[in-house]
Structure formats: structure tokens, C-alpha cells
Amino acid sequence: MTDSPLRLGIAGLGRGFMLLLPTLAAHPGIRLVAAADPREEARRQFVADFSATAHAEVSALCADPEVEAVYIATPHQYHREHVEMAARHGKHVLVEKPMALSLADCQAMIEAMRRAGRWLMVGHSHSFDVPYLRTRALLDSQDFGAVRMISALNYTDFLYRPRRPEELDTARGGGVMFSQAAHQVDVVRLLGGSPVTSVRAATGCWDASRPTEGAYGALLTFENGAFANLTYSGYAHFDSDELCGWSGELGQPRDPREYGQARARLAQLQDAEEEARVKNARTYGAGLSLADTSLADISHNHFGFVVVSCERGDLRPTPQGIDVFLDGRRYREPLPRPRIPRREVLDELIAAVRHDRPPIHSGEWGMATMEVCLAMLESADLGRDVTLSHQVSLAQSIEYNGEVVSR
């Protein structure tokens, strides 16, 4: 296998791409060779930033012989179509979370990549973050006994950031259940280490002007007897970054004096059309470029307050390190600041493509996360527990994906 940089094409130069852009540009194992986006200004900016090819259609990107792997960062509802397109052209795929909006679509994506004999990865979710990966390694050491309970909560201003109409429509993948629960469920599944067996959930839709789920609470039970409590609110009141040393989700320093700004800025907009214009004005090519990104003064990414309770102690991953609480003492296992934040996503992709190392975040793993998210919606609607049938453990995801691609 060659160790040359992976030649990556980008399908969709929107928000997902912007979040990963500084990592893509700085990672020594990646070379951006092409992109596809319907917006001419985005294509022009990509060519200027990377001296690469830009296509108007994803089909042209997938057919581009220079592209080895495609990062699919198009809107949720197009993920299946674009994964199947990449598979037909023999490309490896990294598809943004949420993997898809139905289990049937997830399964079709897995089968398409299996037939192509190419790797499928789902990300980037916060389960790639170093604090959670390091916590998983500590749990694997067996020094703390079995995982018994996980508590995860996150309070943000998610629902009051500028949105396009479809981002406030649950049927089209809007609200917190697809964009945010996918992160939290992924993190909890990684730390739980065992398949989820059932879900009980309630959701909150408390603002008629933002007609989608803005909050949820859920209880997940695991096959190994552990359970997890998940809480999320995107209603822009309490901010759980306060519990994380005022380090933001993307590792950036936060200023608590900025409280209320998201709601205040949104209140100045006249209607949904103006809100969509404001959002689109802060996208790649329209107002942002590679020059607007930075890796400076960044801590590790995180997704709120998390505590893992084990038989012999509790572990709390934070942006700065892992806090460990034992019977008679507590200590912090520090983490060095990241040189390239979020590089773990690309490291996992490169390891699969270049060294045939099965990824953690396989298609089966992504489908299992989406099954939990969809079960949360179903449980809230029906008012009862929902039993799951498409779950995999960490080890099963790696083993199954490796077996499929090696055939």
C-alpha cells in the first residue's frame, strides 16, 4: 500500500465542509483534489484555495479519476444517492452524520459500498474526539471495572442559529434529533462499549416559531446491563460550556458575557427568507474561505458534560483531560493541546484506505446510531420503550466491516 496523501474529493462545500476545512488543509495525509457544489462562488473559492478541480455536479466529482475517496457533506436527504453514486465509481466514502434519514437508506448505502469493495465511514461525530477515545482506552484497561452508568448532557443555542426552512422541519432531517442526537448517541455508544437494547425518550418542541424538536431526554439500556441518561437542549438559555471550562464544542474559547446573542441576532431578522440569506452569507465562497480558518488557541472538541460511572470509579472526559474519581483520591490525566483538531476523523479514513484497517465508524456503526435516534423519536411519539435490532458493539463494527471489505 502507498503512503502518498489520500486524494480526496468534497461533495458539498457547506457547513460540514467548513467545520472540517482547517483539518483537511493541515493534515499531511490528505490532498484535496476536487470538489462539487452547485454554487459558482463556492467552486471559484475552492479552486483559488487549493488549485484543484471544481465540478457543478456530484456525479462529475465521483467520475473524476483523480479522486480516490469522497467526503459527502451534502444535505442529509441526499446522502444515500451520493454514497451509491460514489460506490458505482469505485470510490471510498466518508459520509457526514447523520448517515441518512431512514434505516432503509442506511442499509442501501452499506450494501452499495459492500458490492463496490470500498470502505464506508460515517463522521465526523464527536465520538472521534480525543477525550472520548482516551476515556475508552482507560475503560479497556479494566482498571476501573465494568461500565455501569453514563450521564451525558449538553445545553446550547443550536435552535437559534440562522437556519434554512428544511433545518426546522423534522421530516427533512431538521431539529436536534438528527444533527445533535447523532453526536451524543455516538459518544455514549462508544463509551458504553456494548449494543444498545432499548430506548425510552421524550422530546421538546416549545417554540412555535422554530417548529421542530429543540430538546430531548432519553434512557438507553445496554446489553451488558449498563444504562445511559442523555439530555440535550438547544433553546439558548443555560449553556453547558460553563461545565467545560468555557471551552466551546469546537475547542474555541468562549466568553460568558456573550450570553443571549444568538436569540438577539435572530430577533433582528424579518422572516425565514432573510434568515436563510444570513445563513448562506456565511458559507464557503459567499463570505468564508480557507483564510477565515485557524488552528490557533484550540482545545479538544467535546459534546458537553459526560461522566462514565464504573464499578471502581468515575471518569469525566473534558477538553483538557480525563478527570478520574476513585474511592480515596481524584486526579486528572491531562491531554496535550491538539496540533490539528479533528484529525482523528481523517486518520481513521487514511488507515482504512491505505492500510486496510477496519474503521470504528463503519456503515454498520452509523446505522446503529441512526436506529437509536429514530427510536427516540418513536418512543416520544408512542410513550413507550422501543426495542432495537440493528445494534453493534465497538468490536463488532470493526470486525464486520473488515470482513465485508476483505471479501
Task: Give 16-65 pLDDT, tens digit per residue.
Answer: 899 999 999 999 999 999 999 999 999 999 999 999 999 999 999 999 99
Q: Is residue 171 located within the same domain as residue 256? A: yes
Q: Is residue 171 located within the same domain as residue 313? A: yes
Q: Is residue 121 located within the same domain as residue 252? A: no
User: pLDDT category, 179, cuts 50, 70, 90?
Assistant: very high
Quickly tell me which residue has 477538553 as its cell: 319
Measure CA 32 to chain center: 21
In a domain, 357, yes or no: yes
Q: Is residue 197 located within the same domain as residue 324? A: yes
Name which of 212, 211, 229 is nearest 220 in CA terms: 229
Total number of domains in the chain: 2
Q: Which domain CATH number covers 262?
A: 3.30.360.10
pLDDT digits (tens, 9 = 90+) for 284-312: 998 889 998 888 878 999 999 999 999 99
pLDDT digits (tens, 9 = 90+) for 225-259: 999 999 999 999 999 999 999 999 999 999 999 99
User: pLDDT category, 399, cuts 50, 70, 90?
Assistant: low
Q: Is residue 18 located within the same domain as residue 165? A: no
In a domain, 397, yes or no: yes
Q: Are 259 and 236 in contact (CB under 8 A)?
A: no
Q: Is residue 272 located within the same domain as residue 179? A: yes
Q: Is residue 235 located within the same domain as residue 105? A: no
In a domain, 396, yes or no: yes
In a domain, 400, yes or no: yes
In a domain, 348, yes or no: yes
The CA-atom distances, in angstroms, between 372 and each of 199, 201, 363 are 7, 10, 14
Quickly tell me which residue has 442523555 as its cell: 230
Nine-digit cell at 337? 493541546
Quickly tell me which residue has 483531560 as its cell: 321
In a domain, 300, yes or no: yes
Q: Is residue 324 located within the same domain as residue 377? A: no
Helix (H/G/I), strand (E/B), else coil: 124: coil
Q: Is residue 369 located within the same domain as residue 391? A: yes
End-to-end CA, the chain: 18
* Structure letter (DSSP) for residue 225: S
Domain, as residue range, for 135: 130-334
In a domain, 1, yes or no: no
